[in-house]
Amino acid sequence: MSEQRLESRVRDLADSIEEALRPQTFGHGFAARTPGTEQARSITLPAWFIDRCRRAYLSVPYDSPSRVLGVTSANHGEGKTSVAIGIATAMAADTQEATLLVECDLERPSFYHQFGLSSKGGLSEWLDGMSPLRVARSAYLPNLVVVPSGAPHSDPARLLYQLSESNMFAELKPRFRNIVFDLPPSLDIAYSSLASKLADHLLLVVRYGVTLVEDIQKVIYLLGPERVSGIVLNATEYRTPGWLRRLL
Amino acid sequence: MSRYVEILFRFWIRFVLLLVVMPALVASAFVVFFPSYKATSALWVDYPTYFGARFTPVGWNQYLTPAQNESDSLTQLMSTTSFVGTLTDRLAASGTVTDPVERRSVLGSIYTTLRVNATGSHLMVLSVSCDRKAVCVAILNETIALFRDQETKLEQDQADIGISFLSSELTQAQASQKAAEDALSKYLAANPTLRADPTTAAAYPELARLMADLQTRRANVADLQGSLSQAEYLSSASARLVEIGPRVMDAPHISNDGLLGDGQSLKRALVAAAVCITIGGGYLVLVTWLDKTARDTRELERRLKVRVITSIDKMRQLEHLAVE
């Protein structure tokens, strides 16, 4: 019964997102025509950062027309959210196709802060059936749609199990050529393996000089080496001169 | 390798201190505070035949050159504790070395660095290294003087033994000669018709025996007197030879008078610098070994068998997720 309810809501959600993607004129604030759709504050990432993220998503060998990428890390604070946003921005800008960026870190949400959204209402509340899904749309990249995770939830594992078992993303895939999941950190969060099932390909963000190689090995073991499409070495701060690094 | 270089650049102040500044300071300190100078002296040694006599001083080997003979004697002497002790006592007595600590240091220098080498057939070179120029020169001066004294004493002792032996033999021979003379006189007194000549002796066997005995005793005394004279001559000649034989061609002097001295201080400085650099290198290895974080893309790919698809530079604070 609850599964049927979820499926009907998923269809409603897909319709709302499609509606959100139709050309419309935003005013200032949250002047959304569709209920639950609001305008995200535009995030300006440096061009070189977007370029590096572009290199990351272009390096993944996709086996279907849609690009469904999950971005994870070993621990918190390694820059996976920034990389996920950068990849989604690059995808949306490059392809001009509908791009969905979903925040799946239900314990430590940060999209509301980064996109200037209110912290109440998001994926958690929608999965709990407490509110319609909040969808935010970028002002400068209208084809980029952001789904925040909402307020921190007490039982995120259940919600993610529900999400992974639902056909939400199967429903969304035909409508979005590009889907990027900002996944929870794999070692810090127990349910991260559930979340990682949502994506076809996984990118592992590693923070230079912070992440232990041993932790990366554990993450690769947990996720499965065949699922990890590549590592993004983030926040590099080489002191060795470039010419010397090339020589070594 | 790239990890080591990265750590080197990351903590460059630390490593400049450990690998450059400290070795330079330690090496300079060694050169300035622990100098080492080398004094040398050249001696000329002649054959004993220089004096027109055929003899060899005590301990000489006729198959070696004069320089080899003298350097051999000196080397053996230098290895004795009494020689080194007397040498340091003389240095202390002359006021060159008064501090007990320096005395011990000088003693060590004598044992380890005082060298004598035969250069060619007649030239003998003495050298010593120490941390004060005056002490180096004094050591060589005293070594030469002490060597001469020791050689003279040795010769004198040897000659005294020989002369004493020959003198005692001569005394006994003279007594035997006197006894033989007395026996012959007594025989002639008992036989007044007989004379001590070979014709008479041919007819009287007892007379012939007494005359032959006396002749033998006289010859023995003459022989011993000759030997004693020769021994006395040799004694004085060889003692003189030892005294004036090794002539000082180059008086003891400091061979390298510059800041680096004989180069020993430079060697020590280089060793100290090498030790500092080794410590710095060890620290680099330790720091690199302790750093288990992800830094090098090639190392990550090698260890994890997963491609590093991109590297993103660290964003400056103002750039990071700037909001329009």
- What is the model's pTM? 0.65
A53: CB partners within 8 A, 6+ apart: A45, A83, A86, A87, A89, A90, B310, B312
Q: If pLDDT is split at 50, 70 and 90, which confidence band does B290 have?
A: very high
Residue of B nearest to A225 (CA): B306
Evaluate the CA torsion angle B170, B171, B172, B173 in order and state its sign. Answer: positive
Q: If pLDDT is split at 50, 70 and 90, which confidence band does B147 have?
A: confident
- How far apart CA B292 and CA A204 sit, in angstroms, is 18
A128: CB partners within 8 A, 6+ apart: A153, A159
Tens-digit pLDDT profile for residues B44-75: 887 766 555 555 666 778 788 888 988 888 88
Contact yes or no for B319 and A209 at CB 8 A: no
Distance to chain B for A158, nearest Cα, Å: 31
Residue of A nearest to B299 (CA): A213
Asked if residue B293 lies in contact with residue B10, where contact means CB atoms within 8 angstroms, the answer is: no
Residues of B within 8 A of A43 (CB-CB) are 321-324
Percent of chain B with pLDDT over 90: 30
Tens-digit pLDDT profile for residues B220-255: 999 999 988 888 887 777 666 666 667 888 999 988
pLDDT at B322 over 60: no
Contact yes or no for B2 and A240 at CB 8 A: yes
Helix axes B100-113, B81-93, angle to 10 degrees: 140
Residues of B within 8 A of A229 (CB-CB) are 307, 309
Mean pLDDT of B148-170: 84
Token couple for B195: 């004379």
Q: What is the SS3 assignment for B195?
A: coil
Contact yes or no for A239 and B324 at CB 8 A: no
Residues of B within 8 A of A52 (CB-CB) are 310-313
Q: What is the SS3 assignment for B159?
A: helix
- Closest CB to B295: pick one of A43, A209, A220: A209
Residue of A nearest to B291 (CA): A209
Distance to chain A for B287, nearest Cα, Å: 13
Q: What is the CB neighbour count within 10 angstroms for residue A191?
A: 19
Residues of A within 8 A of B319 (CB-CB) are 46, 49
Distance to chain A for B11, nearest Cα, Å: 9
DSSP string of B29-90?
A: HHHHHS--EEEEEEEE---GGGGT-----TT--TTS-HHHHHHHHHHHHHTSHHHHHHHHHH
- How far apart CA B108 and CA B116 sit, in angstroms, is 16
Q: What is the CB neighbour count within 10 angstroms for residue B270?
A: 15
Distance to chain B for A156, nearest Cα, Å: 27
Chain B residues bordering chain A (beta-carbon distance below 8 Å): 1-2, 5-6, 9-10, 12, 291-295, 297, 299-300, 303-315, 319-324
Residue of A nearest to B296 (CA): A208
Contact yes or no for B312 and A231 at CB 8 A: no
Distance to chain B for A238, nearest Cα, Å: 7
- Closest CB to A208: pick one of B2, B294, B309: B294
Tens-digit pLDDT profile for residues A33-73: 344 456 666 666 788 999 999 999 999 988 888 899 999 99
Closest CA to A126 of A149, A152, A93: A149
Distance to chain B for A206, nearest Cα, Å: 7
Q: If pLDDT is split at 50, 70 and 90, which confidence band does A24 have?
A: very low
